[in-house]
């Protein structure tokens, strides 16, 4: 192919028919639209769906991805659009790379975000390597995020629709992975546009509800999953105040999270109490007034830097940070300790920050994601 051939929509200097793209298909409307659109544009599309856990028990479960019904839906879309589709058994990889760490970190009093680890360790690692083994030029997903090419290579940018933006869950994407990945939905102004495209292509999943839960946590009940994964984990203990005075009993630290107010079983107090700390070794749920939840200094490790230059080139950087997926970025200062560790100081204190959550960095002057890391302890 001549070098002066115009770039196609995926950024390659050759016709779509000579460009192979593996589409990671969850069975939902987003990835189905990506696959259908690329197939219609004439790309050599290969659909791949991962079986991540025993879907036999999840066939009737709605609101989560990668269950048996989702595999069926992905296969059906491939048949409708006329491209090959494969199902890969990743149960063991998913168990080792995601579920076990989720259980252990939850037992340690953290609030894990397993969807980030799944993207990092399964979809953008093993599946991406599989795409390369299939001689694909790139891998496309249905994530709402944008990939733009800057002076120093591929950059990660927030989705055009702030309500759908998934940057919090993708901060750990490595630069070399970003070179290979494509996100065709990131520029769309709303989810309504995606559903309109699904209807245009006549896809059977056009009206399928969005996934809500973590795929292996039915109905958002973390504690029940932990009890199955780690029998005996729900050992009773004491609910204590910050001076160690016993106020009540609980039936397992795994039933509580930082910032929780309801369900403590402590009544008759003038001011409400909140969970401010979990001491797993002592089996203590420590409660205190709301102002104890406010945090300005956040220790972060396992940092993945996506900005220009080295992370430690500057002694401090002013950025936007997001410490939970449901809140917009807030202004902060990052002070690097090493290439993978830093102290983040928030301009305005946030409540309920917990170890195990992600801290994602944003450029204050653009839509670019600069990376992020994991919150690992409180001060």
Residue 214 predicted with pLDDT over 90: no
- Say which range, 16-20, 205-209, 213-217, has the weakest mean pLDDT: 213-217
Do residues 101 and 117 touch, judged by C-beta distance below 8 A?
yes
Question: In the 3-class helix/strand/coil scheme, how is 182-224 assigned residue by residue?
Answer: ECCCCCCCCHHHHHHHHHHCCCCCCCCCCCCCCCCCHHHCHHH
The boundaries of every CATH 2.40.30.10 domain in the chain are 294-375
Is residue 297's pLDDT more than 90? yes
pLDDT at residue 54, as a whole number:
66
- Above 60 in pLDDT, residue 66? no
What is the distance between the alpha carbons of residues 191 and 97, in angstroms, rounded to a whole number? 30
pLDDT at position 56, please?
47
- Top CATH class of 234-288 equals mainly beta
Range of weakest confidence among 91-100, 136-145, 228-237, 293-302: 228-237
| C-alpha triplet 357, 374, 155: angle, nearest 5° | 110
Q: Are 342 and 350 in contact (CB under 8 A)?
A: no
* Mean pLDDT, the chain, integer: 91
Average pLDDT for 140-145 = 97
Share of the chain above pLDDT 90, in %: 73
Does residue 299 register a pLDDT over 60?
A: yes
pLDDT score at 373: 98
Nearest Cα neighbor of 319 from 303, 329, 308, 331 is 331
pLDDT given for residue 234 in this prediction: 83
- Tokens 């946030």 label which residue? 350
Between CA 208 and CA 228 the distance in angstroms is: 30
Report pLDDT for 225. Answer: 85
The 3-state DSSP class for residue 330 equals strand
Q: Is 158 a catalytic residue?
A: no
What value does the mean pLDDT take over residues 296-313?
A: 96
Exposed/middle/buried for 228, CB within 10 Å: 0-12, 13-18, 19+? exposed
**Distances from the Cα of 103 to the Cα of 100, 106, 222, 281, angstroms:** 5, 5, 9, 16
Q: In the prediction, which pLDDT does 3 show?
A: 60
Q: What is the pLDDT of residue 60?
A: 44
The answer to whether the CB of 194 falls within 8 A of the CB of 186 is no
Q: Considering only the top CATH level, what class is 16-219? A: alpha beta
pLDDT at 223: 82
Q: What is the pLDDT of residues 101-118, one digit of tens each?
A: 999 988 888 888 999 999
Catalytically annotated residue among 115, 158, 215, 359: 215
Residue 118 annotated as catalytic = yes
Phi-psi bin for 123: left (phi > 0), alpha (psi -120 to 50), beta? Answer: alpha
> CB within 8 A of 223, min separation 6: which ones?
234, 252, 254, 255
Per-residue confidence band for 379, with pLDDT thresholds at 50, 70 and 90: very low
How far is 257 from 340, CA to CA, in rounded Å?
26
Once rounded to an integer, what is the mean pLDDT over residues 26-54? 94
For residues 279 and 184, the model is more confident at 184
Q: What b/e sequence results for 127-146 when a residue is b if at least 16 CB atoms lie within 10 Å of its CB, and e otherwise?
A: bbebbeeeebbbbbbbbbbb
Catalytic position from the list 66, 118, 158, 359 = 118
Give 294-375's CATH code, choosing from 2.40.30.160, 3.90.79.10, 2.40.30.10, 2.30.40.10: 2.40.30.10
Cβ(49)–Cβ(67) below 8 Å: no
Contacts with 208 (C-beta within 8 Å, 6 or more apart), sequence order: 28, 29, 73
Strand partners, 182: 140
Residues of each domain in the chain carrying CATH 2.30.30.280: 234-288
What pTM was estimated for this model as a whole?
A: 0.90
């Amino acid at each position: 192919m001549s070098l002066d051939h115009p770039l196609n929509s995926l950024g390659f200097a050759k016709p779509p028919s000579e460009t192979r793209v593996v589409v990671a298909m969850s069975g939902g409307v987003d990835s189905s639209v990506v696959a259908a659109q690329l197939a219609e544009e004439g790309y050599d599309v290969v659909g791949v769906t991962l079986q991540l856990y025993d879907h036999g028990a999840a066939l009737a479960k709605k609101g989560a991805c990668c269950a048996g019904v989702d595999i069926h839906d992905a296969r059906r879309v491939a048949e409708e659009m006329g491209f090959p589709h494969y199902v890969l058994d990743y149960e063991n990889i998913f168990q080792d790379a995601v579920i076990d760490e989720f259980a252990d970190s939850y037992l340690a009093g953290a609030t894990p975000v397993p969807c980030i680890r799944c993207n990092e360790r399964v979809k953008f690692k093993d599946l991406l390597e599989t795409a390369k083994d299939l001689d694909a030029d790139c891998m496309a997903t249905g994530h709402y995020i944008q990939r733009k090419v800057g002076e120093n290579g591929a950059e990660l940018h927030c989705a055009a629709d702030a309500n759908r933006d998934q940057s919090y869950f993708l901060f750990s994407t490595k630069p070399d992975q970003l070179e290979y990945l494509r996100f065709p939905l990131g520029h769309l102004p709303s989810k309504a546009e995606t559903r309109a495209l699904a209807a245009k292509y006549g896809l059977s999943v056009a009206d399928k509800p969005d996934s809500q839960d973590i795929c292996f946590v039915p109905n958002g009940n973390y504690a029940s999953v932990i009890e199955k994964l780690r029998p005996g984990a729900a050992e009773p203990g004491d609910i204590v105040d910050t001076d160690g005075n016993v106020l009540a009993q609980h039936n397992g630290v795994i039933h509580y999270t930082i910032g929780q107010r309801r369900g403590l079983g402590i009544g008759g107090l003038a001011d409400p109490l909140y969970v401010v700390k979990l001491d797993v070794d002592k089996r203590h749920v420590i409660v205190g007034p709301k102002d104890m939840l406010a945090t300005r200094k956040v220790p972060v490790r396992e940092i993945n830097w996506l900005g220009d230059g080295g992370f430690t080139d500057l002694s401090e950087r002013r950025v936007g940070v997001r410490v939970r997926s449901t809140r917009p970025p807030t202004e902060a200062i990052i002070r690097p300790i090493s290439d993978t560790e830093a102290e983040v100081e928030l301009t305005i204190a946030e409540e309920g920050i917990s170890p195990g959550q992600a801290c994602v960095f944003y450029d204050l002057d653009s839509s670019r994601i600069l990376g992020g890391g994991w919150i690992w302890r409180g001060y």
